[in-house]
Structures are given as structure tokens and as C-alpha cells.
Amino acid sequence: MSDHYQVLGVSRDATGEEIKKAYRKLARKLHPDVNTAPGAADEFKAVTHAYEVLSDPEKRRIYDTTGNENGTDNGFGGGFGGQGFGFQDIFDTFFGGAGGGGRGPASRTRRGQDALINVRIDLKDAVFGTDKKIDVETAVVCPTCDGSCCQPGTSPRTCDICHGTGQVQRSVRSILGQVMTTAPCGTCQGYGTVIPDPCHECAGEGRVRSRRTLTIRVPAGVATGTRIQLSGQGEAGTAGGPQGDLYVEIRVSPDPTFTRDGDDLHATLTVPMTAAALGTTVTLATFDGDREVTVKPGTQSGEVTVLRGLGVTHLRGAGRGDLHVHLQVETPTKVDAEQEELLRRLAELRGEQYAEGRLSTSGSGVFAKLRDRLGNH
């Protein structure tokens, strides 16, 4: 496990203010907003974790004593059943902190909450990926106090009631006699310090609400429901605490031409009856530009032509899906007298006779074949 002091670049006898300054300097250098180098995000997390431990007096005391912020090398294996339930917890359970053990003052510093926003993109953007600008309204570090919670020029003051311990003790009578109980100090709320002059802009919280614009990379192959995690882009924590994470959930808008099935795309191409009978080539506008679709002579409605590699990019792995073109033969709904005469002539040539709106077949046409086949049963 890395040494938290080395991570922050401070000595083991550094003051709380020196630790805070070292953290802010490194956080500004390594924050994902300004540093996109490989490994910077992991360094940022390590720096943040080191600060969370060393900025908390009790956690720092345990870390300095045991070399582990969890204090699990005390020979008891973390307590009963490995759940971290120690003798102090027994006192707390029965006596509310009896025995005067105490856990030290609480830290005002808290990690910010994670945030979730929805982003809508076009199907083409899902196929190839895109860069998307998003507006995020969230909590950011207060620009006036820089997260200190205090009005500039002032600082927290040690609590006069608990004298910086964050706890107060009182004596109560029990079946075991007089027992000392420990509870958080009501004056400083357990922090050990009070802020006599809170920052006017953030009301002593160390953060304010603000709107900011981010540019995110949406990878190719995403689908509705895909979530993208942006580490350290969520809400700023209280009292200069680290930021949470931002999750972007993708919503893909319907496309007027193409539908998606997994990583395959589907489109319907309508061709005239005569083109389907005689055969032709039709130009189809795809996401990759115009592509020619061959319609073979005698094509029937429902036949499918597959254009390989023109579907959605695989989110994991190389390659793309296919584009399935469904052919639909269009029958004319209105014909003029000349067209009707030509169609009747075609029917005669094919052995298909029409009389008073009824169809009769002869010869070797398709209907004759069907008639003969049924007649044999």
C-alpha cells in the first residue's frame, strides 16, 4: 500500500494546513478536467484518498500508529467475524461510549455526491461515436473561500465546550453504578471547531451551485441505456472535499429510415412492380454514403438484401454489424385506360384472363399451376 504522506509530498509532521495546500495543488494538476494523460485519473484518486485520511485527525492518528487507516493490524484481526467490531464498539453499544474512549472530532470534509444526466444522440452518432457538449448544473468549490467554509481572512476556531475533541462526556447512573457516556458536542456538531465568520457566498458549506459545460466522448456502438462514467466530474464535496462522479446515460433518437436490432441496421426499400419484375439497381443513402442495391428480376415483397459491414460499430471488439435492406414491391393503386389495357394484354400473354372482375386461368401461368396442383388433391 502506498504511503499517504509520499503521495501528497509532505512530511509526517506536516500541519493540517500544509496537507490541505498540498492536496489542492495536486488536485488542480491531476484533475480530469485539465489532465488527460494516461494514469492521471488514478493518481487523482490516490491523492484524494490520501487527503481524506490525513485531513481527518482520528484517521491520521490511526494511520500513524498502525500504518493502516482501518487500524486492522492491532492483533485482533478486525474484531469479531472480521467485521471491524472491536472493544470500543462494545462500550458504545452498552454505554453510549462509556469508558471515555472517544473517537475524536469529525471531519467537515465530505466527498461530493455522484450525479446522473441523460444525453440524447442520433442513430448515426451511435454508429460512429461523437463528441457531445453537455451543460451540467452541479455543486462546485466556492470561488470566494476556496472550500475553506470561512470568510476570507478568517479561520475555524477551536470549540470552547469540547476543547477540540468534538465530544462531551457526562456521568449517568446505571445498574453498574456511575458510568461516563460520550456524545457529539452540540456546540460544534462534533467537528471540534466552530466557524465564527462563515463565507457569505456559500454560507459556510465550501461549495456553491453553478452551471458548467463539458465535452464528452460518446464511443461508437452505444445504445439507449448505456452509461458513461466521468470520474471526478460530479458534485464538489463539502469543505473542500473531493468531487463525486458524473454518469451520462445515453438515449438514442429514432431514425426515419433505419431501425436497429443489436448491431445490425434494417431499412425498407420500396420498388415499383415493373422494376421488381424486370430487375433494376436502386441507390440507397446509408450512413456511409450512397450504396447501390441490386434488385433481381422477379423479386418478391419481403426479400432481403444484406450489405455487409454497414451496421453499428461493435461497442466491444472490432468490426461492425450489417445493413439489412427489406424489399417491398409496390403495386399501383390507380391506372389510366392505356395502362389498364397494357396490363390486360400482359395478363393475356401470361394466360391470366379477367372477366367482370373475376380471374380465370389457362395455359401454364402461375395461377394455372396452382389450379392444377390443387386439382390433384
Which residue segments constitute the domains of the chain, with CATH numbers given? Answer: 1-76 (1.10.287.110), 259-330 (2.60.260.20), 337-375 (no CATH)
User: What pLDDT score does 176 carry?
Assistant: 59
User: What pLDDT score does 225 carry?
Assistant: 94
371/42 Cα distance (integer angstroms): 77
Neighbours of 353 (CB within 10 A): 16
Grid cell, residue 250, equals 445515453
pTM over 0.85: no
141, β-bridge pairs? 207
Q: Is 149 assigned a ligand-binding role in the annotation?
A: no
Provide φ and ψ at 91, rounded to 5°: -60, -40
Q: At what angle are helices 16-30 and 40-54 packed, to 10 degrees?
A: 160
In this structure, the chain runs to a length of: 377
Each of the 377 residues of the chain gets a pLDDT tens digit; together they read 578 888 889 988 888 888 888 888 888 788 766 777 888 888 888 888 888 888 888 888 888 777 776 654 443 333 333 333 344 444 443 444 433 444 678 888 999 999 999 999 999 999 999 999 999 988 999 999 999 999 999 999 999 989 899 888 877 776 656 777 788 888 898 999 999 999 999 999 999 999 989 999 999 999 999 999 999 999 999 998 999 999 999 999 999 999 999 999 999 999 999 889 999 999 999 999 999 999 999 999 999 999 999 999 999 888 999 999 999 999 888 889 998 888 888 888 888 766 545 555 444 444 444 344 444 44
Strand 227-230 and strand 207-218: pairing?
unpaired
Grid cell, residue 276, equals 421488381
User: What pLDDT score does 201 carry?
Assistant: 92
Chain centroid to Cα 298, Å, comes to 50
Which residue type sits at 69? E
User: What pLDDT score does 368 carry?
Assistant: 44
The answer for 263, left when phi > 0, alpha when psi is -120 to 50, beta otherwise, is alpha
DSSP codes joined into one string, 53-112: HHTSHHHHHHHHHHSSTT---SSSTTSGGGS---HHHHHHHHHSSTTS----PPPS--PP
Neighbours of 316 (CB within 10 A): 6
Q: Is 150 assigned a ligand-binding role in the annotation?
A: no
User: What pLDDT score does 375 carry?
Assistant: 46
57/37 Cα distance (integer angstroms): 33
Whether the Cβ atoms of residue 211 and residue 135 lie closer than 8 Å to each other: yes
User: What pLDDT score does 341 carry?
Assistant: 87
User: What pLDDT score does 36 carry?
Assistant: 76
| Helices (H) then strands (E): counts for the chain | 9, 17
**Cα first-last separation, the chain:** 85
375/34 Cα distance (integer angstroms): 82
DSSP codes joined into one string, 214-257: EEEEE-TT--TT-EEEETT-SPPPGGGPPP--EEEEEEEPP-SS
Q: Comparing C-alpha atoms, which of 181, 156, 132 is closest to residue 240?
A: 156
Q: Is 145 assigned a ligand-binding role in the annotation?
A: yes
Please give the helix or strand (H or E) that residue 366 lies within, else none: helix 366-375
140/112 Cα distance (integer angstroms): 9
Q: Comparing C-alpha atoms, which of 166, 19, 158 is closest to residue 107?
A: 166
Which residue type sits at 49? H
Chain centroid to Cα 101, Å, comes to 43
User: What pLDDT score does 88 carry?
Assistant: 42
258/287 Cα distance (integer angstroms): 10
